[in-house]
Amino acid sequence: MNKPDNWQAILKEKQFNDLLIEWNKKINLVSRKKPDVFDLIEDSKLFFEAINFTPGNKILDLGTGGGFPGIVIALHHPEAELTLIDSIQKKINVVSDIVKQMELQNVNVICARAEEISQSPEHKSIYDYVVARSVTVLQDLAKWSKELLKPSGKLVAVKGGDIKGELSKTKRLSFVKNVRRIEKNERTIIIVELANYRKTG
């Protein structure tokens, strides 16, 4: 009975779509040719397959853009605590407005670069998951995530296209313990587990 596609969440999805499309007329968040963003919402739901949702989970969305996947995760999983970051202030202003209008109590929005936030003491080693959708190469995501994740935390990314090179480079990183992938049509869900390098003794 824990399916995310409940009626209330579907209504929230439509609200998110409508707000984003309205904002997109003023600020370019997604292609202007797109009549809606339901495909991006569905793409964001791929993250559900790699996250074990428990009350109080802390999830960081690196490079949220128009709120993908962070807002989609937040509206389907109110038990999780989401922090959404992006380096572009205009996008953050839009996401902040959408979060406010949708009354999402479990979302915090920050304008910052991934490199900066990974060095910030208040964000160090506090997240259960770092998520990223079509942001940058996997090896860079892993480098930033290692400072942000708890020792048991995971990086989850969703990508398309040929990612063999990224996977190979990521697996060779000294702090990466394991890399798993789940194929979904033309998309790949990647789960990166880090070695528990912080433990001493």
> Average pLDDT, stretch 137-160?
95
Measure the CA–CA gap between 48 and 161, rounded to whole angstroms. 21
Q: pTM value?
A: 0.91
- Can you read off the two tokens belonging to residue 64? 């949220």
Per-residue pLDDT reduced to its tens digit, 76-134 = 999 999 999 999 999 999 999 999 999 999 999 999 998 899 889 999 999 999 999 98
Average pLDDT for the chain:
91
In which band, very low, low, confident or very high, does the pLDDT at 1 lie, cut at 50, 70 and 90? very low
Give residue limits of the domains in the chain.
Answer: 7-194
> Average pLDDT, stretch 137-161?
94
Q: What CATH number was assigned to the domain covering residues 7-194?
A: 3.40.50.150
The SS3 of residue 9 is helix
